[in-house]
Structure 1
Amino acid sequence: MSTSPLVRDTDLGRLLDDGYDVVVREGHLVVRQIPYVTTEAAVAYGFLTYPVTVAGDRIVSGTDHRIWFGGSTPCDEHGRPIKCANAEEHAVTSDMRATFMLSSKPGPNGYASEYEKVTAYIRILSHPAVALDDSVTPTPGAAWQEVEDDLPFRYRDTATARAGLAALNKVFFNQKIGVVGTGGTGGYVVDLVAKTPVAEIALYDGDTFDNHNAFRAPGAADIEVLRARPNKAEYFAQVYGHMHTGVTAYPVFIDESNLTLLNDRTFVFLSMDNTSAKPAIIKHLRERKIPFIDVGMGVEEIDGKLSGLLRVTLGLPDSTATDAQIPTKRGDVDEDDYSRNIQIADLNALNATFAVGRWKRWLSFYADGSKETSMTYSIYVNELSNEVAQ
């Protein structure tokens, strides 16, 4: 297996991955939230900055070993000004000015990289502050970092950056996902899709979020939420809106009367209890060449134990061969123990994971060697089986 990185490591990327609060503003690299010591021997916070240009995926210094600091006089832990700081104003933006120039050259060849330069000056400023208060840190983490303009997140995705998957993530950028049914399995689909940089996520469900939903849904709902009995789609839109922008709730059941709500989706997950509504939905999606995945679960009690199957079916615009694998008539609900709201969150989560994984393989985020159109998982024998529709 190749271990070569998918995205080149950069000085800016290293700073972000370390948890520094870094931005590039008007031709300047700015590192904020830097703790330092004032002349009163108290801890305060300032910023470091210097002119740079962004060349491809790298930052290039517009100066030598110098850097500028914004704040009051930086000192050691005793309140004595540090020797490398000289009072000198430097304009960063129209409303942001540095007040000191720092000059500390490590040797005749300067710093080995922009990363080494920035972190060296951070140590000079922050070490005295840490000596006074070991709880302070110059790396406040991703919650303080600004999100890249082209990403639909409310805070930075450091998991992708650390894994070097930014290039692969581009397959998600123009995706407008619909999730029809946000109960057990659908809730976990939302959870997993929200961790990808898709452009939009639309949630469709006309039901209320009740106690039995809480026990087979991702996360842990507050009791006051359950007492309020919010709409499911609106509840999940509110929860995942904390992480992902472009999450919209449609508090309705999708049927023949409102199929146009799906028109601008690029991919749809069907995780609904009402199987009788599926034929019209599938026909509508096929007419508009919108691919979809339908999930299903059948659980029954046998000799005091639960058994059953999980199913994931991929529907593609150019083939109707998979339609026969999707149930469209609901049988006697008493024969299906899942309809009694048995609390089986692990099966909901597993079914959603299979579904989202199949979607990612279809997008070519993951390698896809099977090309199956339908997959089933048997609880009893712990076995997966694939089927390719002809």
Structure 2
Amino acid sequence: MAGTRPFDQQKRQIRLGGGVHQVMVAPDLITDQSFSFKLQESGTNRDYRSFEEKVQTYLHAITAPAMAAYPEATPFGGIAVKAAAQGSPLRIPDMMSSRYHMNDVSSLLRGKRVAIVGLGGTGSYILDFVARTHLDRIALFDDDKVHVHTIFRIPGFIVDAIGSLKVDALARQYGNWHSGLEPVPERITLANIDRLAGFDFVFVSVDDGPARKLIVDWLSARGIPYVDCGMGLDWSLAGLSGFVRITGTDRKAYDDNVGSARLPIENAKENEYRKQAQITELNAMNAIMAVIRFKQHFKLLDRLDEATSYIFDTATMEME
């Protein structure tokens, strides 16, 4: 450590062991003092169980008094520096990939641009998952606002979200994870659908049949990979019963499924989905299926079949 011995908030010198002693950490970093101490357990000293435990203990010993005196201070300023050094839009360094020797896999998404069309329950969960990746850009398309009844569908809790545009509230929240978010407060129609050109992948999570047909037809005709999400719920004798589905990612998927339950192009006349706010587990399930298919497309996950659509039955817990 550089400088004099640190003191706690009661102006007492912190007992750290060691003392005045220069240590060369690196050619351009020489400390003025050193310290070393053991942890105590049941009244006796014990060795640290890991190097991580040792570093965390030392860090707390030095920073806790400073943070008590200055609550806004943080010892984690280096996190942003490390994240920037990785050359990724992620604001938190991807230590998990390096820790488990998966950098080559996670890097497959570098430079890729994706769009999420529809930021309701499923779309917002899709964002929750992909905001933690090295995607270069994530565009959010939705013109709706967050309402009291719809905030239940969004992951976690976003302060002051009610009344805000969904894309703005979510971009603000997930901007803490990713710097490449682009909120677009627009509903995709024939007039602006060309805004989807240039994306490497598009998640379609709209609940309007004609809009789904327009978007998926347009994307697949231009060779833009996509995954369309959807679900349906109805009352049964024992409670709600329904399905969660995904369809994609090419023209064959469109041709094989358009107009069927796997890619509906009309709005359901009777459907409990719009009436049930407390089904975030199904929204999350739908998003999980979509993101798995997305990662299969870019070879992050293996794929052993050529199916163009998958349906999960909530009553039987079976995938078709």
Question: Normalising by structure 2, what TM-score?
Answer: 0.78
Match of 1:190 among 96, 103, 127: 127
CA contact (8 A) 2:113 2:199 kept: yes
Letter in 1 for 2:132: K
Which ranges of structure 2 fall in alignment gaps of 5 or more residues? Answer: 9-13, 34-50, 67-74
Matches within 5 A, 1:359-378: 359-378=294-313
Matched, 1:316 2:250: yes
Deviation, 1:145, is 4.6
Residue deviations 1:108-155 (CA, integer Å, cap 9, x gap): xxxxxxxxxxx9xx98xx96x97788879xx95973652134211112
User: How many pairs does the alignment contain?
Assistant: 285
CA contact (8 A) 2:152 2:277 kept: no
Residue deviations 1:315-359 (CA, integer Å, cap 9, x gap): 314664334231111131xx1000124320000001100110111
Residue deviations 1:239-267 (CA, integer Å, cap 9, x gap): 11111111001111101111011112110
Looking at secondary structure, tell me which structure has more strand per residue.
1
Matched, 1:343 2:278: yes
Identity %: 27
In 1, Cα distance between equivalents of 2:136 and 2:250: 21
Match of 1:143 among 63, 79, 85: 79
Partner residue, 2:20: 81
Matches within 5 A, 1:196-345: 196-222=133-159, 224-226=160-162, 229-303=163-237, 305-317=239-251, 320-324=254-258, 325-332=262-269, 335-345=270-280
Question: Normalising by structure 1, what TM-score?
Answer: 0.65
In 2, Cα distance between equivalents of 1:220 and 1:100: 44
Partner residue, 1:382: 317
C-alpha RMSD over aligned residues: 3.4
Local SS of the residue matching 2:299 = coil
Residue deviations 1:91-121 (CA, integer Å, cap 9, x gap): x5xxxxx46699xxxxxxxxxxxxxxxx9xx
CA contact (8 A) 1:361 1:368 kept: yes
In 2, Cα distance between equivalents of 1:243 and 1:236: 11
Which ranges of structure 1 fall in alignment gaps of 5 or more residues? Answer: 1-35, 45-74, 93-97, 103-118, 386-390
Deviation, 1:382, is 0.8
CA contact (8 A) 1:37 1:76 kept: no
Partner residue, 2:41: none
CA contact (8 A) 2:89 2:180 kept: yes
Matched, 1:167 2:104: yes
Local SS of the residue matching 1:190 = helix
Letter in 1 for 2:20: P
In 2, Cα distance between equivalents of 1:131 and 1:283: 60
Letter in 2 for 1:200: R
Letter in 2 for 1:42: P
